[in-house]
Amino acid sequence: MENRLAELAVELFEMNAVKFGSFVTKAGRQTPVYFDLKVIISHPRLMKSVSTLLWTLAENGKSVSQICGMPYTVLPIAALMSSESNIPLLIRTETESSGSKKIIEGQFKQGENCLIIGDIVTTGINVLEAVKDLTDVGLKVKEAIIILDQQQGGDHNLRTKGIQMRSLYSLTSLMQHLLNAGKVTSAIVEDIKYYVEQNQAQLSCKGNSVSRLRLDFASRAKLAKNRAAANLFNIMSAKKTTLCLAVDLTKADKILKLAELAGPHIAVLKTHIDVVEDFTSEFVDKLKQLSKKHNFLIMEDRKFADIGHTVSLQYRNGIYKIAEWADFVTAHTVPGSGVISGLQDGLKGINEDRGIFLVTEMSSEGALTIGEYVKHSVLLSETSNLIAGLVCQSNTFDDPGLIQLTPGIRLEESRDDLGQQYRTPQMVINAGADLAVVGRGVTAAQDKLLAIIRYKEKLWQAYNERISS
């Protein structure tokens, strides 16, 4: 088999399935190597060879009742394996856009064992997403066999979730085959080796049998992998507040005045900096001074949602230079892990603790942040220690080291004319909120200090009842 793998490596190289240079991955990372395994389907003999070699990796092949190829790149190979082994094929559609509204297409029975066939594994998150969809419909998944392991934490991450992964190649073994065949230089091999060493991503292990909703903030601070999140847990515990004040005001002096008033009572001050009409760097300096004086953190609710390179520029450049002063930012997960990579890149040279809140659910009526989007966002939150928490309306995750930020709070349940839905402090805390966002309930109040104190007390009372219940 080793000889055939060596021959296949050369064939893949000669058909331009393996390329070297400077590339940007879908995750927004710079990489010196790029794989385009879609070209395999244009070579029937090679496709058959790959399917045969892959099947030799299936340790529990005799107990497999279903095969699922993912992503679409590998479906033709999986179909060939299904035909040769006489084992039914399932298709994961990734969306519910088909007429049947099913994510998993095909005929199967509850409890059947399904083998995942994949092309490339990096962190393993795509495989874990497929595993969740398959297990959600009653199938069992114990194993995944793939063509290439890029050695960036995927094998470890899958094993911690109980999935055995086997691959035809690791990135290291593939490079060795190409070096032996004289297709690449030793310098390229060393460059790839360095890239592998510098790009490890291991999913966090929850490792705590106690529900995060029953743990106090001081205990959870010790479990937080993000240092800014740990700091926030400690601030909430010390100041006895879960209040995040949204100062969606357009004048700098009004924001500073409200920050001075609210500072002793809040854990976080949340801004939308692009609505400030008279923004200056001096305004930011004064805001930071107030945050230190009153021991609260600053969140810029930017909701980054672009490709990694653009997000990096938006974060650290322009007139706002958000990376320099915001302890936390928010980001949509629509772009995938590239938005996290972009924010990480934007922090180069900045030595302050920073964190990201991933927008997982929104409080507006008719929001599309539901179903698959929520599941994928939660999985994405496990891929980087830069993640401080998730913005959501319900208890969607288990990790006690992450913070649930919930917007849309009023003392009485209501909604506005633009589709914003409000819930009471008791409702949001019981639904998992650790940090609760209040905006117009304070900014529109006649007595702002009284409103701040009322929200603070109501939220803290609900939190105490939650952890003691």
Q: Which residues are catalytic?
A: 303
Side chain identity at residue 463, one-letter code: Y
Length of the chain: 469
Main-chain phi, psi angles of 364, to 5 degrees: -80, 145
The residues, ordered by sequence, that sit 6+ positions from 387 with a Cβ below 8 Å of its Cβ are 226, 340, 355, 356, 357, 358, 380, 381, 402
What radius of gyration, in Å, describes the C-alpha atoms of the chain?
25
Neighbours of 121 (CB within 10 A): 24
- CA torsion angle 43 48 53 57 (round to 10): 120
Task: Of 392, 417, 403, 384, give the one whose Cα is nearest residue 463.
Answer: 403
Return d(Cα 119, Cα 122) in angstroms, integer.
10
Query: Whole-angstrom Cα distance, residue 397 to residue 377?
Result: 10
Helices 2-14, 171-180: axis angle to 10 degrees equals 80
Bridge partners (DSSP) listed for residue 304 = 331
